[in-house]
Amino acid sequence: IEKGITRLGRPMNDVLVAIENVGNLEIAKLEKGFPLIATTAAGAPMLGFLGTVTGMVRAFFDMANAGTNVDVSLLSGGIYEALVTTVGGLVVGIITLFAYNYLVSQVDNVVNKMEARTMEFMDLLNEPAN
């Protein structure tokens, strides 16, 4: 709206375009880190799954190397690795997903307020003078 005030006296469309341009720049600033957060939310479970696969490969490798002397302790290290990485990936992914959606909703609220104030301002400018 501040930018619109500096454009008073110009055609209404110029005022509105100036306000929209500044609004778009502000929205871009608010959304700046969103791709990183979204990538983390999506990628963390996949990295956890990768750890699951490597842990299971390790467990089976250890089992194969043991031959007929397979002991539970040989398998437990690989299975532990598999489960810990799964849990880690899921925890990071879930927390990041909730944070991402919360931040998106907050930015949406700000955008809605900006649009409402812009419309109120434009309505004031379009009111006939008494």
User: In this predicted model, what pLDDT tens digit does every residue of 66-108 receive, in sequence order?
Assistant: 888 878 887 888 889 899 999 999 999 999 999 999 999 999 9
Tens-place pLDDT, residues 56-69: 999 889 888 888 88
Owner of token pair 């501040």? 2
Which tokens hold the place of 4?
């619109």
Token couple for 22: 């500044």
> Helix H segments across the chain?
2-6, 12-30, 34-66, 72-126
Residue spans per domain, the chain: 2-126
The model's pTM is 0.78
What is the distance of C-alpha 78 from the center of its chain?
32
